[in-house]
Amino acid sequence: MDWNSSLIKNLEWSDKIINLAGKQKVADEIAAKVKDGDILGVGSGSTSYLALIAIANRIREEKLNVKAIPTSLEISMFCSKLGVPLTTLYENKPDWLFDGADEVDPNNSLIKGRGGAMFKEKLLIASSEVSYIIVDDSKMVPKLCTNFPIPVEVFPQALLYVERELRALGADSLALRPAKGKDGPVITENGNIILDCMFDEVGHSLERDIKSITGVIESGLFIGYNLHILMASNT
């Protein structure tokens, strides 16, 4: 039976996608990697969305048996719209994953989480055999925290304790991420809040140090992961 609703069918990316041509090229490269039977971890954000469209086209045209494990509600709705079957981490381990990033430093360490989905993004990157991160020039930085803060997902009642501990680790500006379309802070898909933190220095142990604070669910800092960075350029 059909819901007779166009809400999912008519979903579109809500913002202008910058560097569309470059991202489209890498989206096609990602889609070309898909093999029949693959379980894919699907990242969040506009770059992942474009790659998902290219993959959905291959699934439809070549009748591939591929399943996706989405990193957010946003991308799971796009999977539904595009006819990409879903599965979960209870049933499957991803063969590989693709995602975007907000910053990449010369050691391939990342900041992610502009979309607030960093907990599940990290869980899926950790669970996947191979992870492809698609970025354009604007995301390459000499050091992390150049343009983007490190987002930290926090259990709401732990906010002030976590703030104190983050300052002790060297966070010099912290902001509670405000919601758009709702009064008050962003509430993550896990029912938590986000502190966006700027650090002058992002040392090698910072990801682990942040994670060890009681009340921190996860951060958007990725240091020392085995990632394949794919560059989307317009040329």
Token pair 């799971």 in the structure block, residue: 76
According to the binding rule CB under 6 A, does residue 128 interact with ligand 5RP?
Answer: no
According to the binding rule CB under 6 A, does residue 99 interact with ligand 5RP?
Answer: yes
Active-site annotation holder among 121, 163, 165, 207: 121
According to the binding rule CB under 6 A, does residue 102 interact with ligand 5RP?
Answer: yes
Tell me, yes or no, if 121 is annotated catalytic.
Answer: yes
According to the binding rule CB under 6 A, does residue 112 interact with ligand 5RP?
Answer: yes
Residue 23, token pair as written in the block = 């991202």
According to the binding rule CB under 6 A, does residue 41 interact with ligand 5RP?
Answer: no
Using alpha carbons only, give the angle 108, 109, 112 rounded to the nearest 5 degrees.
120
Which of 67, 114 has the CB closer to ligand 5RP? 114
| Helix segments in the chain, DSSP class H | 20-32, 46-62, 73-82, 118-127, 159-168, 206-211
Least separation, in Å, of the C-beta of 123 and ligand 5RP?
13
Which of 99, 196 has the CB closer to ligand 5RP? 99
Residue 86, token pair as written in the block = 């879903």
Cα separation, 168 vs 171, whole angstroms? 7
Q: Which residues of 71-84 are buried (b: 16+ CB within 10 A; e: fewer)?
A: bbebbbebbebbeb
Which of 29-37, 44-52, 82-90, 225-233 is the region at the interface with ligand 5RP (rule: CB under 6 A)? 44-52
**Chain center to CA of 82:** 19
| Closest residue to bound ligand 5RP by CB | 45
According to the binding rule CB under 6 A, does residue 120 interact with ligand 5RP?
Answer: no
Q: According to CB under 6 A, which one of 22, 100, 185, 215 is a site residue for ligand 5RP?
A: 100
Which of 31-39, 99-107, 184-192, 211-219 is the region at the interface with ligand 5RP (rule: CB under 6 A)? 99-107
Sign of CA dihedral 120, 122, 125, 128: negative
How many chain residues interact with ligand 5RP (CB under 6 A)? 17
According to the binding rule CB under 6 A, does residue 70 interact with ligand 5RP?
Answer: no
Cα separation, 125 vs 203, whole angstroms? 21
Q: Which residues of 174-183 are buried (b: 16+ CB within 10 A; e: fewer)?
A: eeebeeeeee
CB 41 within 8 A of CB 127: yes
According to the binding rule CB under 6 A, does residue 114 interact with ligand 5RP?
Answer: yes
Q: According to CB under 6 A, which one of 43, 94, 185, 215 is a site residue for ligand 5RP?
A: 43
Q: According to CB under 6 A, which one of 51, 59, 117, 216 is a site residue for ligand 5RP?
A: 117
Using alpha carbons only, give the angle 43, 46, 51 rounded to the nearest 5 degrees.
65
Which residues are marked as active site? 121
By CB under 6 A, name the binding residues for ligand 5RP.
Answer: 43-47, 99-102, 112-118, 121
